[in-house]
Amino acid sequence: MSGIAKIRARFRPAQTLLSDETGAALPELALVLPVFLLLIFGLIDFGRMGYEFVMANKATDLAARLAATLPPACPGVATENLPGVVPVGTVAPRFGTGCASAAAVCAAPATVTCTAAMDTSTASVIWDRVEPLMPSYSAPGNLTFSYSYDPNLGFLGGPYVPVVTVEITGLDFQFASPLGAMATLAGGNWEGFAASIPFPTISVSLPGEDLAQGEAG
């Protein structure tokens, strides 16, 4: 064996080791896999957020529809349209005159607002109907009712028919993935790998239809 052949034979194990590509993909996989999983779980999280927001909108629609046809969920809501303050020397309007026909025909009751209280039958009925549509972390306190005066909805001496507004407030979507925390670094509350983004207020208003106390509301 020549001297060159001996040198090649001596370095052949090192050449074999350097040319061996077994396991070369593992470092690449270790770098790419966490990013891939982060994106996958992030997509799942944002999908959950979109689903819960849509369902909360549906729950608000249903709650407003029920509140517009049931007795008031808030105490202190007027029951009839009383006459307004008539200027001196002006003939008082007759009962049955539309509240919108002139100013001060009907007294304008103040807006009444309250959160859902389970000791109120109307709030309890509405919450039982909308709870399955609401996020699991919601509570009756996230549901707000408001009854406001609209002169186009009543007449003097008739039943008070307000505009009924239902709002869902105070909901914070909880992320499960670290991507949620990174997405909220620009704004919002986050702690470690957990993060939350506040839902915008969801509001629906409908004219009241029947606020008379009846056997079935």
Strand 163-168 relative to strand 202-207, pairing: antiparallel
Nearest alpha-carbon partner for 98 in 147, 158, 163, 149: 158
**Is residue 163 a contact partner of residue 207, using CB atoms and an 8 Å limit?**
yes
pLDDT digits (tens, 9 = 90+) for 79-127: 898 998 877 667 778 888 888 887 778 989 999 999 998 888 899 999 9
- What's the pTM value of the predicted model, to 2 decimals? 0.73
Q: Tokens at residue 83, please?
A: 């006459």
Q: How far is CA 35 from the centre of its chain?
A: 30
Establish if 8 belongs to a structural domain: no
Rounded CA-CA distance 45/200 in Å is 17
Establish if 14 belongs to a structural domain: no
Helices (H), 100-158: 121-130
Establish if 7 belongs to a structural domain: no
Establish if 6 belongs to a structural domain: no
Helix 25-69 vs helix 121-130: crossing angle, to nearest 10? 150
| Band of residue 8 on the pLDDT scale cut at 50, 70, 90 | low
Full residue range of the structural domain in which residue 180 is found: 27-207
Rounded CA-CA distance 189/195 in Å is 6
Establish if 90 belongs to a structural domain: yes
* 3 or 141, higher pLDDT: 141
Question: Which region among 3-17, 58-72, 134-148, 152-166 has the lowest average model confidence (pLDDT)?
Answer: 3-17
Instruction: Give the total number of structural domains in the chain.
Output: 1
Task: Give the count of beta carbons closer than 10 Å to the beta carbon of residue 72.
Answer: 23
Q: Tokens at residue 187, please?
A: 């704004």
Establish if 16 belongs to a structural domain: no
pLDDT digits (tens, 9 = 90+) for 156-203: 988 999 999 999 999 988 877 766 555 555 455 545 445 678 889 999
| Band of residue 214 on the pLDDT scale cut at 50, 70, 90 | very low
Give the gyration radius of the chain's Cα atoms: 33
Establish if 152 belongs to a structural domain: yes
Establish if 151 belongs to a structural domain: yes
Rounded CA-CA distance 26/24 in Å is 6
pLDDT reported for residue 183: 55
Rounded CA-CA distance 122/114 in Å is 12
**Is residue 133 a contact partner of residue 62, using CB atoms and an 8 Å limit?**
yes
